[in-house]
Amino acid sequence: MNGEQKLKDYAASCLAKKVYVIDNDIIHFANFGSSSCTAVIGEHSVILIDAVRSSVYARQVREILSEYTDKPVRTIIYTTILPETQGGSGVFADTVEQVIGCTETVRPRIARTCLNDVKEMRKIFTRGYGLADKLIIPDGNTRQEVITSFDSTRDSWLEPTMWIENNCSMEIDGVRLSLLRTPGETPETITVWLPEKKAAAVGSLFYGTFPNFNILTGSDYMETEIWCDSLRKVRDLEPEILLPAMTVPVTGRENVRTVLTTFADALEYILTETLTGINDGLDLDEIIASVSLPEQYQTWYLEERFGRVEWMIRAIWARNMGWFSGLAAELTPLPAETFHEELIQLIGYEKLSQRIGRALSDGEYQLALQLCELDSRRYRVQKKQALKALGRESDCLGERYFLLARAEEL
């Protein structure tokens, strides 16, 4: 099965826009855009856990919710600080009385401000916003919805009126719940625990695919040990319903327990094996070649559809060892352009052109791409061919869109 078909199958099973009626009081809106939200119906009002990524999808949620209850949304709880969970909250401004969020950890202010443009551009690439419809993996969201959603993300979001610093329990409109600090993809992630329903809304703590530890748009390092601790903390509550902020719900106590345990164990395995390899003196390429998920972790919710094991290994290396690989030649390397010119002098354009052509013919697209980088202007056409082929072969969604978008640039 090729990468494109794998992504189509994954989208059909895990990314389809769908409403799940968990019971009479819990309705889960899965994959409205790239995020989900949960409505919990109280005595006189609705508690909305997350508010999807934009007003485009929030209006859809509100309209569908009205088919199940005429009670207004009075409370919104954000499980993360990500725009994907907050962007549509303004749609409920006419009825909402309180918005609960988790206090942010201190983050570098200058970097967050100065990198906005490049991160937005990478976001466009990795989500396929500029690609032709035929290149997009269908998931039930129309192209117009997706593009409009990107333009309006967090356009009228509601700021929290209550900030959570520590674990706490409360009752809102007859609904007992606990708000638990469960850092994972972001340090600010909280889990909303509904003890009477045995339901845990976990935000981005779990999202039905191998995590994207080194987000292509750029991100802070995600502390693996802390993430695993959070997963096990939720597991030990013995939930029967797991409601993530993306992909699909997981139900059944034993099933949920297995999912959370396996997810945590898999992440910890990659962390431990990577650190062991570093300590044993292996270089980054050697670790990437030797570390993979064992068979017991080969499950639908750990397939590499958003992130890759290799990217996690790279992130762990950078977090613990910094930029230096240990090779003396990397201390003060020549500029890439200078080194490439030397290689071309040694190889000659005739041999280089022949090898690139042969690599493309033989399906060695990654080799062809890297050889094209020796003189990307001269080999612009071949580089575009390699990028397109790699993008179409990829079974990782963000990688697919990024490669195809860079090909279109050429």
Q: Which two tokens stand for residue 263?
A: 């997810």
When the pLDDT of each residue in the chain is averaged and rounded to a whole number, the result is 91
CA dihedral 162, 164, 165, 171 (to 10 degrees): 120
b (16+ CB within 10 A) / e for 73-84: bbbbbbbbbbeb
Query: Could you tell me what percentage of the chain is helix, strand and coil, using 3-state DSSP and rounding each to the nearest 5?
Result: 45, 15, 35
b (16+ CB within 10 A) / e for 155-167: eebbebeeebeee
Q: Tell which residue, 67, 127, 2, 23, has the closest CA to residue 393.
A: 2
CATH number, span 3-262: 3.60.15.30
Q: Tell which residue, 33, 27, 83, 28, has the closest CA to residue 58.
A: 33
pLDDT at 155: 55
Q: Which two tokens stand for residue 62?
A: 């509100």
pLDDT digits (tens, 9 = 90+) for 45-66: 999 999 998 899 999 999 999 9
**What residues does CATH 3.60.15.30 cover in the chain?**
3-262
- Strand-pairing partners, residue 73, are 46
pLDDT at 149: 55
pTM for this prediction: 0.92
pLDDT at 145: 57
pLDDT at 366: 98
Separation between Cα atoms, residue 19 and residue 16, nearest integer Å: 10
Separation between Cα atoms, residue 308 and residue 395, nearest integer Å: 10
Separation between Cα atoms, residue 10 and residue 305, nearest integer Å: 8
The answer to whether the CB of 46 falls within 8 A of the CB of 39 is yes
Q: Tell which residue, 284, 280, 335, 341, has the closest CA to residue 313.
A: 284
pLDDT at 289: 97
pLDDT at 93: 97
Beta-carbon contacts of residue 202 (< 8 Å; ≥ 6 apart): 79, 182, 189, 191, 234, 242, 243, 244, 245
First to last CA, the chain: 29
Q: Please identify every stretch of the chain with a pLDDT value under 50, giving residue numbers as ranges.
A: none
pLDDT digits (tens, 9 = 90+) for 102-149: 887 656 567 767 877 887 777 777 777 778 888 888 776 655 555 555
Beta-carbon contacts of residue 308 (< 8 Å; ≥ 6 apart): 210, 396, 399
Question: In terms of C-beta density within 10 A (0-12 exposed, 13-18 middle, 19 or more buried), how is residue 205 classed?
Answer: buried
Consecutive H or E run containing 230:
helix 224-235
pLDDT at 326: 86
Compute and round to an integer the Cα radius of gyration of the chain: 23
Angle CA(184)–CA(36)–CA(97) in degrees, nearest 5?
Answer: 95
Amino acid at 260: L
